[in-house]
Amino acid sequence: MSRSLVLIMITIFVLLLVVVRIGGELGVEDDRLSRERMSLLSFKAGVVSDPEHALQSWGMTNDGHWNHVCNWTGIECNSRRNQVVQIDLGGRSLRGTISPALSNLTFLLVLDLSNNFFMGRIPTELGSLFRLKELSFLTNMLEGEIPTELSFLHQLVYLNLGSNRLKGQIPESLLCNGSSSFDYIDLSNNSLEGEIPLRNHCGLTELRFLLLWSNRLVGLIPSALSNSTKLQWLDLESNFLNGDLPSEIVSKMPHLQFLYLSDNNFGNCSRRGNANLELFFSSLVNCSNLQELEFSGNSLVGDLPPFIGNLSTKLKQINLAENLIHGPIPPTISNLLNLTLLNLSSNLLSGSIPPQISRMVNLERVFFSNNSLSGEIPSAFGNIPRLGLLDLSNNELSGPIPNSISNLSQLRRLLLYGNQLSGTIPPSLGKCTNLEILDLSHNKISGVIPSEVAELRSLKLYLNLSSNLLQGPIPLELSKMDMVLAIDLSMNNLSGTIPPQLSSCIALEYLKLSSNLLQGPLPIQIGNLPYLRALDVSSNELTGELPEFLQSSSTLRKLNISFNDFLGTVPNAGIFTSLTLDSVQGNPGLCGLIHGMQLCRKGRNHHQRKILPILLMLLTCPVVCFFGYPLLLKARARRASSAIFGDNSISEDEENENQETHKYRRISYHQLVQATNGFNSSCLIGSGRFGHVYKGVLHDNTKIAVKVLDTTTMEGEILRSFKRECQVLKRTRHRNLIRIITTCTKPDFKALVLPLMPNGSLENHLYPIHGSEHNLSLVQLVNICSDVAEGMAYLHHYSPVRVIHCDLKPSNILLDGDMTALVTDFGIARFAKSGGEGSYRRENTSVLDPSSSFPSTAGLLCGSIGYIAPEYGMGRQASTQGDVYSFGVLILEIITGKRPTDVLFHQGSSLPEWVKTHYPNRLEPIINQALLTHPPPLTSATNINTEIWKDVVLEMVELGLICTQNSASMRPSMLDVANEMGCLKQFVSSPSTYLTIEEQQEVRRLF
């Protein structure tokens, strides 16, 4: 019994020990969990912007309990003890600072905050995360120096601090921390200074990627880098490194695949010259995996060695441009059969181009420009099937252009300018149906321009045949280049007249025909080119008067008509106001007010011209007195009894306006009945709060819209609306506002007669009743929004009486035959106080005529549901900022394709609030849908740059959000909005929009 009792007691004692230990561990675990939670919440507190709500789960659940940290977004825990081992919040658009409290997460293995907007310094406390293996702060806005404390992270394998604003020197201890675990180091695209602090005792033996490009590093490439024998990617370009090329270093890197040393100072301080270049290529022979080699933009001297052809057969790109390499191009380079890019431009190369180059059948881009190459262009180029770019410009090449070039079906750019080529332009070049640039300028090419080449419709950048010996007429086929941006045929011997058919080149922005033998007048059809920016027809034999389009063009920025035989008066308007004598000199028959130009003399009968108006005035005075006085009495009687354009007390302005009443057409009620088939329902095109709109045709075939007001309900309100709309339409004149034809009024009938808009309202296009196969394009929508903004800016800032529209929406925007937008329906408009002529003050926008306001709630919430500014619901009077809000809603409606009322009733929030929940990082589906619904224009067979059009949609969304801010004082003025939309309209309306920046620079190079 005693033995059994002892065993029971021992068992109880062991169980007590186990319980105590488990309880202690649970207490420790609870304490650790609490510390981790507090550390993460401290980090969250430093985040000032979380547009994707990534950290929304970091907190308590709905029942008031803490959500376990392992369930928080971006957090990963280990499976055994639920310790936080990974924080991955990359690409969440977080903005704020990085909290030092993260250093308390002692089990952390991965910390990734890349692609965000974190600012401030990197916390030095992170050096205590001794278990950390991956640290990435790539693409943020971090400042200051790299903390030396990061060198304590001996387990670190991956370090990426690239694309920040870091400065100072790279800490030596970071690269020499006694650990050889580094696999990836990226400190690129910062402002780091000093030398690369890599010493011989530093053993980065596991390093495979080292990226230090775009910094301010100086000195030599450290020899200790040769210890990194596993290196695959070495990028040191765009620094200030000098000395010899690192031959001994790269010779010990057999796994090297990508070597970028461009834009440094290698070779500047070296006297080894050619020996250095040969030694470097020799060291690369052992790099059997090399794929890309770039060391352009240095000062390397020497010949290309023959054994360059012994480099890796995997090599795809070689870029040695902008050095001092001389001598011939070795024929052995053709051994690099997989090469796709070969750039030897801007060197001192000489000799002929080896025909063996045709063996490199995978070549896509060849740059040999700006050298001293001579001889003929090898016809073997025609045997490289994938060649898309051939640049042999600015050399000393001679002979004809080979016909074999026409075999290059993928050729997009052919640049042969600045040589000594002779012969004629091969008509077979017309077979290069993908050609976008053809530049044969500054050669000795003769003959005529072949019609086969002139009708190359694929040219979308430019055609440059200038400074040659071409003759004959400008071919009419040139008019088929409907997408070309620039044509330069200057400095030739072309004769005949300028073909009017050039107006078919509708994308043309630059036209240069100077220094030829062209005759006849300058065709007025050139004025039909909608985007023409520069026109140079100087030094020809052109005659006649200057066409009117030269002064009326809104796009023309450069003009040179000098040294011709033009005659007449040079206008003092349009582009001529900015011209100097250089642009018009050499035309003896021209006169004008340009400084240095001969003044126009008055004719012999100028005294008679002065006397004639005086005689006419003396003769007409008795007639006016006899007939005018009775008419004046009748006009006063009409004003006294008029109830259409105001009450019986007529102001001075109204009296002046009523004197112009005779300008409005007289249309009787009977004529309106006939025009609308008795206001038949088949002619009904719209209905609103105050009545109906009918379409009709007058007896002279004038198409009209008749807005008939319903006088059977709310008669007083209807009358006020009618009078107000008459006042607005009568006092305002703008191309983007509807113009009144006349009014028709009887005791029981009141109507406005307006011009019928053939393309209906914007509402009909956004929401077609029966569907539509032809949606408005993005360019059309930008133009429409710009038109509306212009019209509204006029109402707010420049109208004789400042007008608040109060009901801006798609159904109140009409489209004429040219798709120009006109704002209409001023039935609930208000007149606002003016801050002075031509001025605008945001506080002076209250209602001037309170008698015209609606009573009670209708007066406060003026407008349509979904478009009403929020301040109207709080009793604020109508203001111009309310119109700005409505315009912002309009833009967001166009982009999202959602009616504001749909969002309001189905989503429970306003349209602007709904868009804000997607801005900025969840807009991609909205943008893509907008581009699908309203496609950008297709300009050629090539793919357009969709990123440009995404930016256009994004700009419209941002403008819509700015206009719909809750605080009226924070919204821009309509004038600012019109300026923004005008810039966007100019951007999308130019064919240059479809080009990359590099392509635009190529075109501008001509002018």
Yes or no: say if 841 and 811 are a contact pair by the CB < 8 Å rule. no
Q: Tokens 């600015």 — which residue?
A: 394
Dig out the tokens for 835 from the structure: 């801050």
- Please name the residues in contact with 407: beta carbons below 8 A apart, sequence gap of 6 or more: 382, 383, 385
Among 128, 124, 117, CA closest to 165: 117
- Please name the residues in contact with 398: beta carbons below 8 A apart, sequence gap of 6 or more: 374, 375, 376, 419, 420, 421, 422
For 399, the enclosing helix (H) or strand (E) is strand 396-399
Angle at Cα 884 formed by Cα 883 and Cα 888, nearest 5°? 115
Q: For residue 342, list its beta bridge partners.
A: 318, 366
**For residue 148, which phi and psi values (nearest 5 degrees)?**
-65, -20
Strand, helix or coil for residue 804: strand
Q: Which amino acid is it at 746?
A: K
Dig out the tokens for 696 from the structure: 């009709």
Alpha-carbon distance values, 217 to 137, 141, 238 (Å): 21, 20, 9
Classify each residue of 231-262 as buried b or exposed e, where b means 16 or more C-beta atoms within 10 Å of its C-beta.
bbbbbbbbbebbbbbbbebbbebeebbbbbbb
Cis peptide before 920 (omega within 30 of 0): yes
d(CA 787, CA 767) in angstroms, rounded, equals 20
Strand, helix or coil for residue 337: coil
Selected catalytic residue, list 186, 244, 439, 807? 807
d(CA 619, CA 625) in angstroms, rounded, equals 11
Among this protein's residues, is 565 annotated catalytic? no
- The answer on whether 460 is annotated among ligand-binding residues is no
d(CA 973, CA 956) in angstroms, rounded, equals 16
Q: Tokens 């529209």 — which residue?
A: 805
- Please name the residues in contact with 637: beta carbons below 8 A apart, sequence gap of 6 or more: none
Strand, helix or coil for residue 105: coil
Q: Tokens 């088929």 — which residue?
A: 480
Burial class, 994, CB count within 10 angstroms (exposed 0-12 / middle 13-18 / buried 19+): buried
For 731, the enclosing helix (H) or strand (E) is helix 715-731
Q: Which amino acid is it at 153?
A: L
Strand, helix or coil for residue 829: coil
Angle at Cα 567 formed by Cα 566 and Cα 572, nearest 5°? 100
d(CA 155, CA 134) in angstroms, rounded, equals 9
Residues with a catalytic annotation lie at: 807
Which residues are known binding-site members? 707
Residue ranges of the binding site for ATP: 707
